Structure 1
Amino acid sequence: MNISPIKSGTLMPDFSQNSPLVRYALRGLERCWLPEHGCWSHIYHLDGRASPNESLRRSDVFYTLNVLLGMSRIRDVPGGINLSETFHRNADELTALSVPKYALGMALWASAELGFELPEQVRRQVKALLSDQSGWESFRAQDLGMLLTGVVAQARAGDKEWVRFAAPLYRFLEERFSSGSGLFFDAASGFRRRFASFATQIYLSIACYHYGEFAGEASALANADACVRKLIALQGPDGEWPWFFDAAAGRVLDFYEVYSVHQYGMAPALLEWAERYRVPGARNALIKGFNWVLGKNQLRRSMLVPDLGLSIRSQIRKQELTTRVPRMLRAIKNAYSGRDAVLIESSGVGLRLECRSYELGWILWSFGQRADLLELTHNAAFGKIPVPA
């Protein structure tokens, strides 16, 4: 695959029908492209280093599939992007690399949305994984959520051999990952189970919506709705989506770090479903969360990097930029003391100066087909990118 060089601040005519927000993300993805590998990068560093793109192959491949999923929803794909070649080149590597199980789910989902055949070796590996139900005990929430979403996407696209896996996967989710609080557990069992992230909620709720709509399963839709309602109730005062929860108690254990991708990409992907099913407050929560990225946040600064078409990854406690240990200990303490997390003083909050390509992919997925949120998709923050004469 090749992406033809595009000068900064210009727009190729073949994607002029996209919104300014989508064009912004596409411009950022140019920066993240690794021509030697035919994929988008693991990290684009925003600290001024001479070579900002960092590659980690198993992550590059997964992120690239996530970006391609987003490409499936935009109005006009840039002419220099060969979707089929990029998909097959990266999907072919899934069985050779030590990728997490959720990467296989993303391959199922992206191939269904793009209309591309899965490589046969990937198909065999996923089928073997799903046929061994004893192995499901090791699934984390993201594994289960993406695999169920991918299975349903394949079935809806007409590949009926995946249908047999859908109901058992959903039953496993309902029996082992649901909690009375409305939030989902992060694992089927074990000490770590109750400590669930925002991503846990996103992936399992989206999977429930997909399955519920496909199978006409009312309990799946109800579980997704309940999770969304709980998340909205726990959203921060400036629209920030908390990172860490006690799923059993339905409480926030830690707000930090607050990720931009949750605000502008992953939460909107879930809330689009919630709007469709008329969950109260879903649209307002989406808008408030998105505005966090535009500067209505604790630091009162935009998280965008307009010159590059990128975004700053997160706001984080300054002393935790290089270690997760204090965050883990604090979460355990809060869980067992019953203490609710709060936002700290802004003087103690810093920035993680990087952007990851999948984050931009979620913008494409969540806003590629939306024409009803012009205050976001056509916000002045994304500029007017002229089409060359």
Structure 2
Amino acid sequence: MIISSNLGVKLVVPTAASKLSQNAPLVNYALNGLERCWLPEHRRWSHIYHLDGRSSPNESVPSSDVFYTLNVLLGMSRVAEIPDGIDIPEIFRRNVLQLTKLPVRKYAFGMALWSAAELGLEIPDPVKCELRAILADESQWKSFRAQDLGMLLTGVVAQARAGEKEWLHYARPLYRFLKERFHSESGLFFDAPFGLRRRFSSFATQTYLSIACYQYGEFASDASALVMADTCVRNLIALQGPQGEWPWFFDASSGRVVDFYEVYSVHQYGMAPALLEWAERFGQRQSRDALIRGFNWVLGHNQLGRTMLVPELSLTLRSQVRKGELATRAPRVLRAVKNAWLSRGERLIDGANVELRLECRSYELGWILWSFGRRTDLPELTHNAAFCPV
């Protein structure tokens, strides 16, 4: 089907729904978008697909590409029908081996554990060796950020659940470290085990650590882990914005929002649904409504009153951000410190002072695959007309 994009370029967009009938339209939408982010010469998905009209929209950052690719493959573990030409074992092996050669964060190794377990793939020996070194030296865990710890614990549990008992004995020490150093009395999670910065945590902090607690709690029958995850989810739902916005920045010590922005689309349609799926499973009644409200934000129920989809490309717009802050975090940092110092919560600002970040990242589409690849109980989302081919 040939269509004109809003960037002035005619595009051929495959109608995946006709080819992949077992997949929901939302899943096909994400798969089509991933085709645009594919870097065939590197056999991986890109760091950024720019939506500002440039002639070469894909930007590659190798260390990020590799992590994002593993995240996409995690999502594909839940897809009923994979598009022709995607050789998951080959892509996994080629990219996971890069973890020992590129300057990646520790959380990338956690994603390797998690995605390998879900896909039923073997982790290459060089990567296993590096993982053992990371997990065995507890003195180095003090450098972990929340995403590092959350993904490593999730990955270890996923491997153990898949029958790879080698990783099982790391699970309890990792969870104990999480409980002792990352859990705040407010019910939210800290971003780091030590230091002044630890109290300023993101929505991602809450998501990754809560998922890890749910995973560990279920696997190890540890009620304390489930209680921590449930408490965090209840607090997040209480802090959700009036149109379903998930705030970005928190003071974990007080449990307050210190900055709503940026509001990221991936949180609305991917990461929050991944977390809330666990919360629903353990009886959090508000979780389903919170998921739907958050997702509808992407469909146009937001401050700008516009969809965050780019349907002619099967991509999404990354975020809504305060005007003037696309290229700097300094004002946000100062605002967060001030709000924490004054014990003041932050609210949404006037929509006239909000703009769009015109990019899409491949891992965002991967989270759609993970969160909705197997869901059949939310047709108002998975089969929404916004994702159906014309």
| TM-score class normalised by the smaller sequence | over 0.9
Structure 2 residue 245 is the aligned partner of structure 1 residue 219: no
Q: Which residue of the other structure, out of 154, 163, 166, is the alignment partner of 2:168?
A: 163
Distance change in 2, residues 1:12/1:288 (3 Å): closer
Q: Deviation of residue 188 (structure 1)?
A: 0.3
Q: Which residue of 2 aligns with 1:373?
A: 378
Q: Which residue of 2 aligns with 1:297?
A: 302
Structure 2 residue 338 is the aligned partner of structure 1 residue 338: no
Q: Deviation of residue 9 (structure 1)?
A: 3.6
What are structure 1's unaligned runs of at least 5 residues?
Answer: 1-5
Q: Distance in 1 between matches of 2:85 and 2:109?
A: 26
Q: Which residue of 1 aligns with 2:85?
A: 80
Task: Indicate if the aligned counterparts of 1:14 and 1:76 stay in contact, CA closer than 8 A.
Answer: no
Task: Indicate if the aligned counterparts of 1:12 and 1:78 stay in contact, CA closer than 8 A.
Answer: no
Give the count of matched residue pairs: 380
Q: Which residue of 2 aligns with 1:310?
A: 315
Q: Distance in 1 between matches of 2:330 and 2:376?
A: 43
C-alpha offsets along residues 307-352 of structure 1, whole Å, 9 cap, x if unaligned?
Answer: 0000000000011011000000000000000111011111100000
Task: Indicate if the aligned counterparts of 2:17 and 2:389 stay in contact, CA closer than 8 A.
Answer: no
SS in 1 for 2:356: strand
Q: Distance in 2 between matches of 1:36 and 1:310?
A: 21
Which residue identity does 2:21 align to in structure 1? S
What are structure 2's unaligned runs of at least 5 residues?
Answer: 1-10
Q: Which residue of 1 aligns with 2:113?
A: 108
Structure 2 residue 158 is the aligned partner of structure 1 residue 153: yes
Structure 2 residue 134 is the aligned partner of structure 1 residue 129: yes
Q: Which residue of 1 aligns with 2:33?
A: 28
Equivalences for residues 1-389 of structure 1 within 5 A: 7-11=12-16, 15-384=20-389
Which residue identity does 1:340 align to in structure 2? G
Q: Distance in 1 between matches of 2:144 and 2:16?
A: 42
Distance change in 2, residues 1:241/1:269 (3 Å): same
Which residue identity does 1:72 align to in structure 2? S
Percent identical among aligned pairs is: 70
C-alpha offsets along residues 65-89 of structure 1, whole Å, 9 cap, x if unaligned?
Answer: 0000000001111121100000000
Task: Indicate if the aligned counterparts of 1:254 and 1:342 stay in contact, CA closer than 8 A.
Answer: yes
Which residue identity does 1:298 align to in structure 2? Q
Q: Which residue of 2 aligns with 1:3?
A: none
Task: Indicate if the aligned counterparts of 1:14 and 1:77 stay in contact, CA closer than 8 A.
Answer: no
Which residue identity does 2:98 align to in structure 1? E
Q: Deviation of residue 15 (structure 1)?
A: 2.4
Q: Distance in 2 between matches of 1:59 and 1:19?
A: 28
Q: How high is the TM-score relative to the length of structure 1? A: 0.96
Which residue identity does 1:32 align to in structure 2? C
SS in 2 for 1:322: coil
C-alpha offsets along residues 366-387 of structure 1, whole Å, 9 cap, x if unaligned?
Answer: 00000000000000011236xx
Q: Distance in 2 between matches of 1:187 and 1:116?
A: 31
Q: Distance in 2 between matches of 1:80 and 1:234?
A: 43
Task: Indicate if the aligned counterparts of 1:21 and 1:376 stay in contact, CA closer than 8 A.
Answer: yes
Task: Indicate if the aligned counterparts of 2:109 and 2:131 stay in contact, CA closer than 8 A.
Answer: yes
CA RMSD of aligned residues (A): 1.0
Task: Indicate if the aligned counterparts of 2:188 and 2:232 stay in contact, CA closer than 8 A.
Answer: yes
Q: Deviation of residue 12 (structure 1)?
A: 7.3
Q: Distance in 2 between matches of 1:7 and 1:70?
A: 25
Task: Indicate if the aligned counterparts of 1:145 and 1:206 stay in contact, CA closer than 8 A.
Answer: yes
Q: Distance in 2 between matches of 1:197 and 1:190?
A: 16
Q: Distance in 2 between matches of 1:218 and 1:11?
A: 43
Q: Distance in 2 between matches of 1:338 and 1:174?
A: 25
SS in 2 for 1:316: strand
Which residue identity does 1:140 align to in structure 2? R
Q: Deviation of residue 16 (structure 1)?
A: 2.0
Q: Deviation of residue 10 (structure 1)?
A: 2.2
